[in-house]
Amino acid sequence: MVLMMLNSPAQAQESEWQEIKGHHFVVYYGPSEDLEAARQVLRKAEEYYRKIGDQIGYTRYLNFWTWDERVRIFMFHDQESFIHGTGQPVWIAGYVDRDAQLFESYTIMTYKQEENFYDGLLPHEISHLIMRDFISPPQKSQYGRTPDRPIPVWLDEGVAQLQETYKYEIAEDMMRVLVHKGQHIPFEMFVRWDIRTEKEPVKIKAFYAQSLMVVRFLINTYGSSVFGRFCRSLRDGKTLEEALRSAYSNRILSVPELEKKWIQFMGGRSF
């Protein structure tokens, strides 16, 4: 994901930013004819905040992104103004960043014409931001900002895909075939793999599909509140296996046991 430091709306170089505010988001837009599109972005963002939070057991405990900590969404008029204002390459449709100076402030940037924005990029990036707050909230100290607690990549990407329902059938079909053949990614490797360094498209595609299906398994089988406890255990510094045991008690005691139960869920051999 491409990152950029953004300290004020003026730095985005849109001629005159206008804004509309919701409870958790502020949408900045340019020409007045973009107002209706900006309203739609704000409406969908608020819907996804509630839906994602409920799904992963987040909003029940903490209410982030209010008042001055609202997430900022910059919606450029078109791709040309987006590229000119941000300096991003043509193939970038949008991205998210945590402000380097005021790290409690989040920014999502895109442009109005992006076709998959509403049901793809927007919920995907909101999910990433929620997971950062849920598992690795930044800490202030006399020495400045402390490092975030790393989020397992499979968990972060699995949650981020939950709202992209068009991916479900594709991911499920792929993983059922791989599980049946015994060719899924072994969990010992899977839970530690930072796929962001991988170059082979086939491996990347399999990793994202498996991430989605593992997260769906945990939520569909044991519920959102238990998944929320699992995430909070990671936030509190527990290892992955400690977090599994803490949240799922005697049902999932280790990563190998998680793998066995997931294989059963996917229709593989029984244990």
Residues 55 and 119 in one domain: yes
Residue 188 covered by a domain: yes
Domain count, the chain: 2
Residues 131 and 175 in one domain: no
Percentages helix, strand, coil for the chain, rounded to the nearest 5? 55, 10, 35
CA distances from 132 to 50, 180, 207 (A): 16, 34, 20
Q: What residue numbers bound the domain in which 54 lies?
A: 9-144
Measured CA to CA, the distance from residue 60 to residue 148 in angstroms comes to: 22
Residues 194 and 140 in one domain: no
266 three-state secondary structure: coil
Q: How many CA atoms lie within 13 A of 99 on its CB side?
A: 18
At position 90, the amino acid (one-letter code) is V
Burial class from Cβ neighbours inside 10 Å (0-12, 13-18, 19+) for residue 265 reads middle
Residue 2 covered by a domain: no
Residues 128 and 60 in one domain: yes
**Dihedral sign (CA 53, 57, 58, 59):** positive
Instruction: Return the DSSP state at 149.
Output: P
Residues 115 and 176 in one domain: no
Q: Is 94 within 8 Å of 86 (Cβ atoms)?
A: no
The phi and psi torsions of 144 (rounded to 5 degrees) equal 100, -155
Inter-helix orientation angle 122-135/35-55, to 10°: 40
Assigned token pair, 251: 């049902």
Residues 138 and 49 in one domain: yes
Looking at residue 8, what is its pLDDT? Answer: 45
pLDDT truncated to tens, each residue of the chain (271 aa)? Answer: 333 334 444 444 545 899 999 999 999 998 887 899 999 999 999 999 999 989 998 865 556 787 778 899 988 888 888 877 777 665 555 555 544 333 345 888 888 766 678 888 889 989 988 888 888 765 554 444 444 678 999 999 999 999 888 889 999 999 999 999 999 999 999 999 998 888 899 999 999 999 999 999 999 999 999 999 999 999 999 999 999 999 998 899 999 999 999 999 998 654 3
Which is nearest to 221 in space by CA: 190, 203, 188, 247? Answer: 247
User: 32: domain CATH number?
Assistant: 3.40.30.160
Residues 131 and 158 in one domain: no
